[in-house]
Amino acid sequence: MKIENHILNILQLYEFAMAIGKSLDYKENCDALLKLILKRKSLNATWILKEEKNKLISTYSLPMGKEVKTDFDDKIKQLLESEYQYKLLDAEGVPPAITPIKIETGQLAVFNLKAQGYLFFYTQKHNFTEDQLSQLQPVIDKFYNSLLACRSFEEQKTLLQNLKVQNQELSDYAHMVSHDLKSPLRSIDALSYFLKEDFENELGEQGRQQIDTIRTNVEKMDALINGILDYSTIGKHQTEFYDVNLDQLVKDIINLIDVPEHCDIKVSELPVIYGDKYRLQQLFQNLISNAIKYNDKTNPQIEIGASQEDGYHKFYVSDNGIGIEKAYHDRIFETFKKLQNDGSSTGIGLSVVKKIVETYQGRIWVNSEPGEGTTFYFTLKDKH
Amino acid sequence: MLISSIQAVQIVQNISEHVQGNAALISIAEGTAIDIEELIAELNKNGIKFMGGIFPKVIHGSSILDKGIVINTLQNIESLFLVRNVSSKNFSIPEISFEANQDYSLFTYVDGLTSNISNYLEELYASYGMQTNYFGGGAGSLSLKQKPCVFCNDGFFEDAAVACVMKMKSSIGVKHGWNKVDGPFIVTKAEGNVIKEINWNDPFEVYKTVVENHSTQTFTDDNFFDIAKGYPFGIIKSDAEYIVRDPLMVNDNNELVCVGELEDNMLVDILNGDVDSLISASTQATKECMDKAQHPKKAIIIDCISRILFLENEFDTELSSITDAISSQYPDLSIGGALTLGEISSYGEGFLEFYNKTVVIGLFEYED
């Protein structure tokens, strides 16, 4: 009979252990185990109190009872603090402030959940034994770990929610700002155009040049605003991914942009990748345009190629252009950082490229020698 | 009070005279040819507060009736409420302000054929805890076809429960008389009321091995319930009666379909009983209940319909053992009740459970 009871106790502990961790929701996780213990052990109530800013607060209670929010005073500390895993108390001596339900007689078992607080079990009958609590301890230890997981999950959810809100605010702000900035720019552009058209003779050469300067700066400002908007929206919105033929994409880019005569662009076989054509076009177009623009050679050479490495596609865009000093190899990817006093550069192009690469869980880096040329390498995750 | 009339107007008149301004607990045997909607309308017209259920049979005194309406008066009502959508867990339990130093009793009927009854009972306990005793049963048809079976002033419903909380002391006795044959076993997989695996094995094979060995009978294609009604499962609890689960049938996957819910990793024994053990249990339940009572005014018996299916002609003996014991000490006590699909009790201690194959006796005390 004794062996049978031991087997029964062990199997009951198995049932309790299997009830732990069925949910990452704190209340559901507590319900799954604590309701089961109440039922199987014929207990009356259970609750968890956690210390926060020197107060004891109930985080779970069954039955619900009243909310516990009490000072963690010396009397209660004497009862609950100190090194122990569990203890058995007479219900009569327990301060009502730490019980969500009214208890007069019976027993209270307290398990120390360390950072997660104190777990109480109450029975009107005196049917707890030290042996039972000792047997329950490993189950409670496992339960403690599950509570940690629940708390982490909750925090993660909150952080993600905050991030979502902030992203949306940023996106809204960027749209708002770009719209408010673009509107006067359009006016300046239009008016300066009409000024030049209608008063061409009166303006003279110098006047016409000044108006051209105004219009160039307006274009630059417009490009900058578009760049900021692009930068702020990359990765913020759910984008549909599909197979994109990069061979065709790069060919289309070369046809689209202004490639100078004597400029050779050599494209090796490029893979089909799973992505978003709009952003991939931005990425390649920025790099190819830079390779063309920052080249002082009579016969500019640009090479574009790819290889496969460890679940990633590795690409390169290489040129024989002016090159970049090593000190600036990281800075060039920072927003608004330009290396040349180039009126047409917004300083945001490579930041956009880097951000696009990061949405594909890749990275970008550069090898370059001043006067000899530059190679941009970047990886994009292979989703196939 | 027992009403045999099936005319709504007559029934309501009788109820009104009986309850005298209090609320009515109405238990109707499913063989009664009565229009429930008409009855509800008439009761509402007469301003009578009520709750009730339809049952396979009802109990009045020491009689079991296929037809008839048993009325109990519900005094000192604190709250009477309806809970819908029991199966989808989409309901809330109304708040009640319980007074200190006051006894309360909660009486409830639930659709015995709906799912998630345990969740309904858990929510009741979570809301009210030890501030009240709990007592009640599962309503429904012996055909096991789910249909509207609980009612109150708001209408006639299935997948619902009706409950009332009264300022009233009660004493409860709960026993079943089923004893262990073999176990423990682990229900390693369960879904609702279906046992899908026992000890990681085919549940019917495990069950069959034990039962055929003990009973010396053999399961065939059409005799499952005839044998199984004597061999229920018992969910193991420390220091308390098993929670019994009745296997009803074997499905096409060799899984055991039971009355009442089960959960993964439950520990169960396979039980057996006989006429003597069952009748002895009901006598004990009555005694336990009477030992705790002081001045009861009424008795309500909630007895599982499957006990009469097992005891057959001997069920009269079980009922008499209860009613005789009560009447011998309290000769003027009204005794009523029902044969139910599941029984509800706190047994005065701890968490609320949904029992099967069990007899629950309640003695209720109140000031006149």
Kindly report, residue by residue over B139-175, the tens digit of the pLDDT: 999 998 999 999 999 999 999 999 999 999 999 999 9
Q: By mean pLDDT, which of A302-311, A335-344, B23-32, B320-329 is the weakest? A: A335-344
**Long-range contacts: B285-289, Cβ < 8 Å, 24+?**
B285/B173, B285/B174, B285/B175, B285/B322, B285/B359, B285/B360, B285/B361, B286/B173, B286/B321, B286/B322, B286/B325, B286/B326, B286/B361, B287/B173, B287/B325, B288/B173, B288/B175, B289/B171, B289/B172, B289/B173, B289/B361, B289/B362, B289/B363
- In angstroms, the CA B103 to CA A324 distance is 87
Q: B237-254 pLDDT, tens per residue?
A: 887 788 999 898 899 999
What are the b/e assignments for B141-166, b being 16+ CB within 10 Å? bbeeebebbbbbbebbbbbbbbbbbb
Give residue A331's pLDDT band: very low, low, confident or very high (50, 70, 90): confident
Q: What's residue A59's pLDDT? A: 95
- Phi/psi at A233 (5° precision): -105, -10
- In angstroms, the CA A227 to CA A250 distance is 21
Q: Please state, for a pLDDT cut of 70, what percent of chain B lies above it.
A: 99
Give residue B314's pLDDT band: very low, low, confident or very high (50, 70, 90): confident
Structure tokens at A21: 């961790």
Q: What's residue A237's pLDDT? A: 66
Q: What's residue A336's pLDDT? A: 65
Q: What's residue A128's pLDDT? A: 84
Q: Does B78 touch chain A (CB under 8 A)?
A: no
- In angstroms, the CA A337 to CA A340 distance is 9
CATH of A3-153, one of 3.50.50.60, 1.10.8.50, 3.30.450.40, 3.30.300.20: 3.30.450.40
Interface contact flag, B236 A40, Cβ < 8 Å = yes
- In angstroms, the CA A294 to CA A321 distance is 6
Q: Name every chain A residue with its beta carbon within 8 A of the beta carbon of B95.
A: none
Of B122, B265, B267, the CB nearest to A35: B122
Pick the residue from chain A with its C-alpha nearest to B235.
A40
Q: Does B237 touch chain A (CB under 8 A)?
A: yes
* CA dihedral over B323, B326, B330, B333, signed as positive or negative: negative
Q: Name every chain B residue with its beta carbon within 8 A of the beta carbon of A102.
A: 100
Radius of gyration, alpha carbons of chain A = 34
Q: Which helix (H) or strand (E) holds B363?
A: strand B359-365
Q: Does B95 touch chain A (CB under 8 A)?
A: no
- Does residue A344 register a pLDDT over 70? no
Give residue A160's pLDDT band: very low, low, confident or very high (50, 70, 90): very high
Q: What is the mean pLDDT of chain A?
A: 88
Q: What's residue B159's pLDDT? A: 96
- In angstroms, the CA B234 to CA B335 distance is 29
Of B122, B127, B237, the CB nearest to A42: B237
Over residues A206-225, the mean pLDDT reads 85
The model scores a pTM over 0.90 = no
- Does residue A358 register a pLDDT over 70? yes
Q: Does A62 touch chain B (CB under 8 A)?
A: yes
Q: Does A126 touch chain B (CB under 8 A)?
A: no
Check: CB of residue B337 under 8 Å from CB of residue B303. yes
Q: What's residue B219's pLDDT? A: 94
Interface contact flag, A44 B350, Cβ < 8 Å = yes
- Phi/psi at A99 (5° precision): -120, 125
Pick the residue from chain B with its C-alpha nearest to A11.
B267
Interface contact flag, B130 A64, Cβ < 8 Å = no
Distance of residue A39 Cα from the nearest chain B Cα, in angstroms: 6
Q: Name every chain A residue with its beta carbon within 8 A of the beta carbon of B266.
A: 15
Interface probe for B, chosen from A8, A12, A15 (most Cβ of B below 10 Å), is A15
Q: What's residue A340's pLDDT? A: 58
For A150, A151, A162, B126, the CA distances from A24, given in Å and listed in that order, are: 5, 8, 19, 21
- Of A268, A267, A48, which is closest to residue A144 (Cα–Cα)? A48
Check: CB of residue A60 under 8 Å from CB of residue A34. yes
Q: What's residue A337's pLDDT? A: 63
Give residue B24's pLDDT band: very low, low, confident or very high (50, 70, 90): very high
Check: CB of residue A265 under 8 Å from CB of residue A255. no
Over residues B296-304, the mean pLDDT reads 91
Distance of residue A249 Cα from the nearest chain B Cα, in angstroms: 53
Distance of residue B313 Cα from the nearest chain A Cα, in angstroms: 35
Q: Please state, for a pLDDT cut of 90, what percent of chain A lies above it.
A: 47
What's the N-to-C CA distance of chain A in angstroms? 61
Q: Does B226 touch chain A (CB under 8 A)?
A: no
Q: A30-44 pLDDT, tens per residue?
A: 999 999 999 999 899
The residues near A208 (Cβ < 8 Å, ≥ 6 apart) are A196, A200
- Phi/psi at B31 (5° precision): -80, -5
- In angstroms, the CA A377 to CA A140 distance is 53
Interface contact flag, A124 B186, Cβ < 8 Å = no
The structural domains of chain A, with segments of one domain joined by +, span 3-153, 158-233, 242-381
For residue A151, give the DSSP letter.
H
Q: What's residue B253's pLDDT? A: 92
What are the b/e assignments for B74-88, b being 16+ CB within 10 Å? bbbebebbbbbebbe
- Does residue A180 register a pLDDT over 70? yes
Q: Does B144 touch chain A (CB under 8 A)?
A: no
- In angstroms, the CA B364 to CA A195 distance is 100
Interface contact flag, B239 A42, Cβ < 8 Å = yes
Over residues A366-373, the mean pLDDT reads 93
Q: What's residue A108's pLDDT? A: 94
- 3-state secondary structure at position B343: strand
Check: CB of residue A315 under 8 Å from CB of residue A378. yes
Q: Does B240 touch chain A (CB under 8 A)?
A: yes
For A64, A68, A193, the CA distances from A48, given in Å and listed in that order, are: 11, 10, 74
Q: What is the dihedral of CA B214, B220, B225, B231, to 10 degrees?
A: 10
Interface contact flag, A35 B128, Cβ < 8 Å = no
3-state secondary structure B148-202: CCEEECCEEECCEEEEEEECCEEEEEEECCCEEEEEEEEECEEECCEEEEECCEC
Q: Does A105 touch chain B (CB under 8 A)?
A: no
Contacts across the A-B interface (CB distance below 8 Å): 72
Interface contact flag, A44 B130, Cβ < 8 Å = yes
Q: Does A15 touch chain B (CB under 8 A)?
A: yes
Q: Name every chain A residue with its beta carbon within 8 A of the beta carbon of B122.
A: 35
Structure tokens at B60: 């009045």
For A28, A58, A154, A164, A235, the CA distances from A160, given in Å and listed in that order, are: 21, 26, 10, 6, 15
* CA dihedral over A55, A60, A62, A65, signed as positive or negative: positive
- Of A258, A379, A252, A255, which is closest to residue A310 (Cα–Cα)? A379
- pLDDT, greater one: A54 or A1: A54
Q: Name every chain B residue with its beta carbon within 8 A of the beta carbon of A44.
A: 129-130, 349-351
Q: What's residue A345's pLDDT? A: 65
Q: Does B264 touch chain A (CB under 8 A)?
A: yes
Q: Please state, for a pLDDT cut of 70, what percent of chain A lies above it.
A: 95
Interface probe for A, chosen from B351, B352, B353, B355 (most Cβ of A below 10 Å), is B351
- Does residue A339 register a pLDDT over 70? no
Domain at A242-381, CATH class = alpha beta
- Phi/psi at A277 (5° precision): -60, -35
Q: How many residues does chain B have?
A: 368
What counts of helices (H) and strands (E) characterise chain A?
9, 13
- Does residue B290 register a pLDDT over 70? yes
Interface contact flag, B129 A63, Cβ < 8 Å = yes
**Cα angle: A78, vertex A80, A85; to 5 degrees:** 130
What's the N-to-C CA distance of chain B in angstroms? 17
Q: B174-216 pLDDT, tens per residue?
A: 999 999 999 999 999 999 889 999 999 999 999 999 999 999 9
For residue B6, give the DSSP letter.
-
Q: What's residue A309's pLDDT? A: 85
Q: What's residue A170's pLDDT? A: 78
Q: What's residue A338's pLDDT? A: 63
Q: A69-123 pLDDT, tens per residue?
A: 999 988 888 888 777 889 998 888 889 999 999 888 899 999 999 889 999 999 9
Q: B39-56 pLDDT, tens per residue?
A: 999 999 999 999 999 999
Check: CB of residue A50 under 8 Å from CB of residue A33. no
State the DSSP string of A239-271.
Answer: ---EEEEHHHHHHHHHHHS-PPTT-EEEE----
Pick the residue from chain B with its C-alpha nearest to A4.
B184
Of B100, B122, B130, the CB nearest to A101: B130
Give residue A177's pLDDT band: very low, low, confident or very high (50, 70, 90): confident
Q: What is the largest CA-CA distance in chain A?
A: 116
For residue B99, give the DSSP letter.
P
- Does residue B367 register a pLDDT over 70? no
